[in-house]
Structure 1
Amino acid sequence: MARADLVQRVAVGVVAVAAIVWLAVSVVDMHALAAAQRTASRRSLTPALLRKGVADTRRAQDLRPGDDGPLTERVYLYFAAGRRSKALAAAEKLARSEPRNRLGWIVIAAITRVTDPKRAADAEAHLRKLIIQPSRRR
């Protein structure tokens, strides 16, 4: 009986530690993304602020690799800073990894409208499909 109690207590302890670690990672990720959002919302982004914002998004990405939030924020940062080629590259990566994310397609269409009208038209067509047939959540 005592052995069963010990096993149960150890199991509860392991689950508690795992939950605490998960919560800690989530909080750090949330703070990194919030910092990147504050940076993106500034009126003027200096190169140093842009580097800091991008570093914040990369740190958040490292903590939660399957989450597209950091990449979405990176698109905002590059676009707000006028770094069109980097914004386009990040938007294309976002559109590939999360085809239902409208921001990726909006940025692709906006940036390529003059330089690559066909690519812009394709992005706009994809965006229209997303608007007409919104994703169904389960």
Structure 2
Amino acid sequence: MPRSSARSATPKPEARTRVGNGSVVLSGVDGRSLEARRYREILAALVSDMGGDPSEAQEQIARRAAMLAIWCEGQDTAAALGTPIDVAAYTTASNALRRLLETLGLKRVPRDITPTLAEYAARRAAEKAQAA
């Protein structure tokens, strides 16, 4: 019987690139720059929002979203400083970022801030005690 030509889905650590094994986020980029640090922050937040264990496809989309977010933040800064920006490019990037985030399924979930009955009663008692 001939050998299967299918390869292992996960290569051995020594066969992976530095990007693939996580020791480098962006190949060939000084990780100490402001942009590189911000990129890592955004990417980590996106991965956390996905539950901390993204698939490779989700990771790739999150990387693109992080890069677009950095670019948009740079344009925000330029505009705030009075530097003219390309509004069409900014709008395109913002819409692409929104679509990537929708693809990842990231949505704002409202937090329930309604107090429990016990919390409400305790707050009312404290207010009455202060008024007296």
TM class by shorter chain equals 0.3 to 0.5
Instruction: State the structure with more CA Rg.
Output: 2
TM-score between the two structures when normalised by the length of structure 1: 0.31
Ranked by relative contact order (alpha carbons within 8 Å, sequence separation 6 or more), the top structure is: 2
Instruction: Return the structure number with greater helix share.
Output: 1
